[in-house]
């Protein structure tokens, strides 16, 4: 009985010390999450307010998940792409010929889920004014019309510069691609109905807002989908942080799914030849909590 008492006493005394030791081993992290906002300002490629083009219509999709190919912090408006603090670069492959994003290794997350988590000690100390995010994949709900009836469906939108896709599914619909697909490839499946289709938006038509295009342009020749946004106040990393830094990337989904109308009724009706022309997100507002 005495031996058991001594053992219990030892556990009571040592557990707090083990707990404190574990706490000390935890280091502060940089965490990146996404937010989708259909009320956020709708911007064009130059980061200016934009309305839907004449002859087109658009809707604000309900996002399920998203993925990014590249994440970078930029100190100022003259920092060229690739010369800021690169936080993330997704896996690429040449399985389809030309270099492409490897969709099989893409990390997709819903709103509020952690997309990126790295030790703050790996982030260079500095004052960062801008955030750059190269978006690669979107999965969201849209409404379509067919024969006078409205239906809900799920759209998979590939907006990266080039993506190698083996296969993927939307519900029970399986899409076997086994090749590269350029920016603007999409696939669609009706919810609860046995119908699916796929297509390709026009080359170069995907909107990629960059408010500092004049001083730090995005090379659009290779269809890079790098959306740029400014912090309200600079994010300062000095290397003495003891708490996590959480960055939230608020993306404008304000009428981000756009098509060319055949019947001017504001309803997307692919069966009569209404084609997707733009699936680019319409702005980035980054914020942080330290």
- What is the pLDDT averaged over residues 36-63? 97
The pLDDT tens digits for 92-126 are: 999 999 999 999 999 999 999 999 999 999 999 99
What pLDDT score does 194 carry? Answer: 83
Number of independent structural domains in the chain: 1
In a domain, 7, yes or no: no
Asked whether residue 103 is assigned to any structural domain, the reply reads: yes
Is the pLDDT score of 24 beyond 60? Answer: no
Residue at 14 is within a domain: no
3-state helix, strand, coil in the chain (%, to 5): 10, 50, 40
How high is the pLDDT of residue 195?
Answer: 86
Tokens representing 245 are 């830094």
Q: DSSP states of 44-74 as a string? A: -TTS-B--PPTTEEEE--EEEEEEEEEEEEE
Domain span at 195: 29-289
**Dihedrals phi, psi of 187, to nearest 5 degrees:** -140, 150
Residue 239 has pLDDT above 50, yes or no: yes
Q: If pLDDT is split at 50, 70 and 90, which confidence band does 158 have?
A: very high
Nearest C-alpha neighbor of 228 from the set 204, 252, 211: 211
15 belongs to a structural domain: no
pLDDT digits (tens, 9 = 90+) for 176-202: 999 999 999 999 999 988 889 999 998
In b/e form, how buried is each residue of 83-97, taking b as 16+ CB within 10 angstroms? Answer: ebbebbebebeeebe
Residue 137 has pLDDT above 80, yes or no: yes
Of residues 12 and 246, more confidence is placed in 246
Confidence band for 221, pLDDT divided at 50, 70 and 90: low
Report if residue 194 sits inside a domain.
Answer: yes
Q: What is the pLDDT of residue 6?
A: 43
Domain contains 6: no
């Amino acid at each position: 009985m005495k031996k058991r008492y001594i053992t219990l006493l030892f556990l009571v005394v040592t557990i707090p010390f083990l707990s404190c030791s574990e706490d000390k081993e935890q280091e502060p992290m940089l965490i990146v999450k996404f937010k989708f906002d259909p009320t956020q300002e709708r911007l064009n490629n130059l980061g200016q307010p934009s309305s839907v083009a004449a002859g087109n219509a658009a809707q604000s999709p309900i996002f399920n998940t998203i993925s990014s190919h590249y994440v970078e912090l930029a100190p100022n408006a003259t920092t060229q792409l690739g010369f800021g603090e690169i936080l993330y670069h997704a896996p690429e492959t040449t399985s389809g010929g030309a270099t492409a994003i490897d969709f099989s290794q893409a990390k997709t997350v819903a709103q509020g889920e952690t997309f990126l988590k790295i030790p703050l000690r790996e982030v260079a100390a500095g004052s960062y004014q801008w955030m750059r995010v190269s978006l690669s994949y979107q999965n969201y709900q849209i409404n379509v019309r067919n024969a006078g009836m409205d239906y809900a469906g799920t759209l998979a939108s590939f907006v990266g510069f080039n993506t190698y896709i083996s296969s993927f599914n939307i519900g029970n619909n399986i899409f076997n691609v086994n090749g590269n697909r350029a920016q603007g490839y999409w696939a669609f499946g009706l919810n609860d109905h046995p119908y699916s289709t796929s297509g390709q938006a026009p080359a170069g038509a995907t909107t990629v807002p960059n408010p500092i295009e004049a001083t730090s342009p995005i090379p659009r020749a290779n269809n890079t989908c790098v959306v740029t946004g400014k912090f309200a106040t600079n994010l300062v990393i000095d290397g003495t942080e003891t708490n996590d830094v959480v960055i939230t990337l608020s993306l404008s989904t304000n009428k981000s799914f756009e098509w060319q109308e055949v019947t001017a009724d504001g309803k997307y009706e692919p069966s009569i030849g209404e084609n997707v022309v733009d699936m680019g997100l319409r702005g980035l507002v980054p914020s942080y909590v330290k």
